[in-house]
A and B are shown apart, each in its own frame.
Chain A
Amino acid sequence: MDFDLMITSFPKLLGATVITLKLLSASLFFGLFLGLFFAILRLNKNIFINKFAYGYSYVFRGTPLLVQIFIIYFGLGQIEYLRSTVLWVVLKEPYWCAIIAFTLNTGAYTSEILRSAFQTIKPGIIEAGKSLGISNKIIFYKIQIPIAIRQSLPAYGNEIILMMKGTSLASTVTLMDLTGVAKYIISTTFKPIEVFIVAGGIYLFMTFVIHNVIKYLEKKYSFQQ
């Protein structure tokens, strides 16, 4: 065990954690809206809209995240037309490509989580709202969404942790996130175990924090208060 290496690599890895957290929070933020949008489309009665939303979530859940990042980072740059548009400002940066890929990926999973949450809401609750003369819009925003969010908290907590692990793939498109820096240190020092313990410890700590925050929220918003 090389404890000196563990101590000297800790601040470097901690610095890289900032990028990991930035990637995670940005993709979760955009992904939540995307997921909500597609969950609503999934509940639409129009078969084309419904199938489109299903197709989106099927494709993004059925392919590896690595393929998605590569298509966006390496693939889209190949289209000449894109290079001349404003989009190119975003797409030439690996940082934004990673965020776009993560957002689309987590959006697919989130839409499934939210859809099943919407579907488990008892019809009686919506009927009760209607009989009180509340408009459909307000029933949706004030009754269905809050209940769905509560219902989906445990599954969404898992998704956050999966996404946190997913951000490690940003290192494959040259970003120096926690895994990227860990790989760099491993390949220069050839001490994989020491680096794994430190980097893995940081990841585990983040998992631990996310897990407990979700647990706290679940308790706070539980129905039996």
Chain B
Amino acid sequence: MELLAFGKTGWGDELFYATLMTVAVSVTAMLVGFLFALIFTPLKLSKYKILNFVGNFYTTVIRGVPELLVIYLLFFGGSGAIMYVASIFGYYEYIEINAFITGAVAIGIISGAYSTEVFRGAIQSIDKGQFEAAKVLGINKFGQFYKIILPQMLRLAIPNLSNVWQITLKDTSLISVTGLVEIMRQSYIAAGSTRDPLFFYSFAAVLYLMLTYISMKLINKLEVKYSRGY
């Protein structure tokens, strides 16, 4: 137990902050993923073949390639790519992207592919009559989406989005390879310096279980909220 003490003697506070870091990265990655989904869902639903292809290419490649490979691509290629773009604008200094951003974007790209599929499925399962009725009532495009399609879509999407959240949360453990100090990395450091890997990795597992348990409880509440009237 003294291994988990707060302060200088134990690893309690370090692991506490690492847990917060995991939550922060997961939330950021999820939001980045929504941003990607916002771009690619319309592409997948588009009438145009070429836009369809772009949307499908994104979801197929990301869902078919290991997460670790995507992370390595961004970790080793990220600053190179940014520097290349910067050099076009005449900026030649060395740019280093911090591990948090690399990690959140890498996991965001992955979770975005799953979110895109969820949103596509949800929109497609809304009755066509809803779109037509909204049009007939003369509601403008923004109102159609925001007031009529989105609430119905969320009800259908939330159970699947909760799966995406679980995947995202667990995937953040992989960015420990880039050196970002989240639960996994902190456990690695603690295990290395105390030579007690069994304890620290098991404790990491408990922390992850706790996070998935709490988030499930919260998501269930959301589900109830968006299923009013059903």
Residues of A with Cβ closer than 8 Å to B? 58-59, 62-68, 70-71, 74-79, 161, 164-169, 171-172, 179, 182-183, 186-187, 190, 192-193, 196, 199-200, 203-204, 207-208
Knowing A74-B201, A76-B198, A204-B61 are in contact, say whether A62-B208 is a contact too (CB < 8 A).
yes
A193 to B84 alpha-carbon distance, docked (Å): 13
Cβ contacts under 8 Å, B204 to chain A: 63, 67, 70
Instruction: Please determine whether A179 and B66 come into contact, CB atoms closer than 8 angstroms.
Output: yes
A82 to chain B, nearest CB (A): 10
Instruction: Please determine whether A199 and B208 come into contact, CB atoms closer than 8 angstroms.
Output: no
A selection of 21 A-B contacts at a CB cut-off of 8 Å is A58-B209, A59-B205, A63-B204, A64-B173, A64-B174, A64-B208, A66-B184, A67-B204, A71-B198, A71-B205, A75-B197, A75-B201, A78-B198, A165-B65, A166-B66, A182-B69, A187-B76, A190-B76, A196-B73, A199-B69, A203-B69
Instruction: Please determine whether B73 and A192 come into contact, CB atoms closer than 8 angstroms.
Output: yes
Knowing A62-B213, A187-B76, A204-B64 are in contact, say whether A67-B208 is a contact too (CB < 8 A).
yes
Those 5 A-B pairs whose CB atoms lie nearest each other, nearest first: A168-B66, A75-B198, A192-B77, A64-B173, A207-B64
B21 to chain A, nearest CB (A): 15
Instruction: Please determine whether B61 and A200 come into contact, CB atoms closer than 8 angstroms.
Output: yes
A75 to B202 alpha-carbon distance, docked (Å): 8
Report the contact-size class of chain B (Cβ under 8 Å from the partner).
35 or more
Chain A CB within 8 A of B189 CB: no
Chain A CB within 8 A of B14 CB: no
Q: A78-B195, A203-B69, A204-B65 are in contact. List 10 more A-B contacts (CB 8 A).
A: A58-B209, A63-B205, A70-B184, A74-B198, A78-B196, A165-B67, A167-B66, A179-B72, A182-B69, A207-B64
B178 to chain A, nearest CB (A): 12
Most chain A CB inside 10 Å of its own CB: which residue of B184, B187, B198? B198
Instruction: Please determine whether A161 and B213 come into contact, CB atoms closer than 8 angstroms.
Output: no
A157 to B211 alpha-carbon distance, docked (Å): 28
Cβ contacts under 8 Å, A187 to chain B: 76
A78 to B75 alpha-carbon distance, docked (Å): 32
A37 to B177 alpha-carbon distance, docked (Å): 35
Which A residue's beta carbon lies closest to that of B209? A62
B185 to chain A, nearest CB (A): 11
Instruction: Please determine whether B65 and A182 come into contact, CB atoms closer than 8 angstroms.
Output: no
Cβ contacts under 8 Å, A75 to chain B: 197-198, 201-202
Most chain A CB inside 10 Å of its own CB: which residue of B73, B174, B177, B188? B73
Chain A CB within 8 A of B24 CB: no
Chain A CB within 8 A of B28 CB: no
A169 to B174 alpha-carbon distance, docked (Å): 9
A7 to chain B, nearest CB (A): 19
A199 to B212 alpha-carbon distance, docked (Å): 32
Instruction: Please determine whether B69 and A64 come into contact, CB atoms closer than 8 angstroms.
Output: no
Knowing A182-B69, A186-B76, A193-B77 are in contact, say whether A64-B171 is a contact too (CB < 8 A).
yes
Instruction: Please determine whether B201 and A71 come into contact, CB atoms closer than 8 angstroms.
Output: yes
B63 to chain A, nearest CB (A): 8
